[in-house]
Amino acid sequence: MANPPPIFPQNTIVLFILFCIIIGKLGPWTNALSLDFENKLRNDSESIRTASNDYGNLIHEIPSSILFPSRIDDIIQLIKSSNARSIPFTIAARGRGHSVRGQAMTRGGVVVDMTSLSKNGNRIRIGNNALGSYVDVGGEQLWIDVLHATTKHGLAPVSWTDYLYLSVGGTLSNAGISGQSFLHGPEISNVLELDVITGQGNFVTCSRNKNSELFFGVLGGLGQFGIITRARIILDKAPTRAKWVRLIYSNFSDFSRDQEHLISSNAPNYVEGILITNENTTNDWRSFFSSSSNQSEIASLLKNQGLLYAIELVKYYDNQTANNIDKEFQLMLKELNFIPQLIFSSDVSLIDFLARVGNSDNNPNGQLETHPWLNLFIPKSRISDFNAGVLVNMLPKLNDTSGLFIFYPLNKNKWDDRMSAVIPDEDIFYTLALLHTSLPKEANIFDKFNNQILRFCENAGIKVKQYLPYYKSKEEWIKHYGSKWDIFQKRKMQFDPKMILSPGQRIFNSV
């Protein structure tokens, strides 16, 4: 289907912004800034093409133009110019474009290329206060760069995502989860302070104690209330190495019980789970792990039951703790019920572990692939039903040999309910990530499969919540937010009353 035309002709918004600057509608901007602004708004074919696509490669919305800011004032100026219109144009902040359903797009509006801010110097700075060490990071910065910058000083954030080539502002607008989240909470739980440009063009510094309504709203807020331009993130002493294993299970009860046991203790530093539906999964592990396992045994188990489970378990250490790491690790393993002869093990540097997933932007086939992902949070009380109905009865039937399926528990008490992120109302809940990769012509097969899972949960009364949510109607969003909807809507009216920001989420905008 052809893309619909922009709501506004491509030059209209550019000309309007410049006109507002000239007549002084936007406040006391300097002449130098006014003259410079024109060069930062582009609508050439390459800029438009990039801004109308994302990692999902499923939805394409054509903007009117793209702003390449060199400083924060450029973004403020853009948002104020939209507010000055009788009919405002929409604005979407774009980091590395790793949304999968057009969330960082806007049809006929302006996309802000946040990465452009990093071209004028380093925006990663380490500091200290009475509470300890922290790092101030530009919202456009990548987590991989935060890792390298902080570990040079023997420090590191404590919570990460599995993939580090994501922007800080983008992940904090969702939550940012990984195998450390059971212990330290998601990335949004480890933020001390933010600089945010609201939907009214106001530059606000906020924290738990200062402008807290904006602070809690923006974290996990899907870009609805403001654009994050700086985040102050907690740092701790960085370990230097990671002892890393993957343990295979054939029994779901053993698998889930062991995962829940592990996240109830402080013994491991990282716990995730992997669903194995074909031999390609464990064959691929051999590039990271040494193993005494018999691949034919894995193949035989898969042939008999169609699905295996694996726990990914990591404990960090350094020179001071190196003498005890093997003993401590073995004590952890003795309490688990995995298949003894099927263990994959490795010992790597901290950086090699955290950066184990390479930069997917370097994939030469990226333009030929789609990623129709589904990410869910599932309440622990229904996890056995979910396993029987979805993992056992549906997942093995899906002919997906290149996807990655992740499944592990999280602790609710590590999340702050004042933030906008939505999770199940149980002490323990699981996250499922179905990270499908397909050809464009096959994407509908995976979308149909994802919808079958959602229908199964609806019919079975399993109250799942989508992570990285995608809905097409306001009614679905109201159901998603549940008891949080009223405060979410109130914050929108307070910080972005003209519904300018992040229209691609389709919460308050139809497109």
What number of residues does the chain have? Answer: 511
Look up tokens 């790793």; give the residue. Answer: 98
Diameter over CA atoms, the chain: 75
- Helix or strand holding residue 470 (H, E): none
Does residue 274 sit in helix, strand or coil?
strand
Left if phi > 0, otherwise alpha if psi is -120 to 50, otherwise beta: which for 90?
beta
User: Which ranges constitute the DSSP H helices of 221-278?
Assistant: 252-263
* Residue 151 structure tokens: 């570990």
- The set of catalytic residues is 98, 162, 272
Cβ count within 10 A of residue 466:
15
* Residue 67 structure tokens: 């702003």
In a 10 Å sphere around its CB, with 0-12 CB exposed, 13-18 middle and 19+ buried, how is residue 411 labelled? middle
β-strand partners of 193: 207, 232
Rounded to whole angstroms, how far apart are CA atoms 415 and 407? Answer: 18
Describe the strand order of the beta sheet including 226-234 as a list of residue ranges.
Answer: 124-129, 132-138, 226-234, 191-198, 203-207
Does residue 214 sit in helix, strand or coil?
helix
Q: Which of these, 141, 147, 173, 150, lies nearest to 160 by C-alpha position?
A: 147
Residues whose CB falls within 8 Å of the CB of residue 203, separated by 6 or more in sequence, listed in order: 72, 76, 195, 196, 197, 229
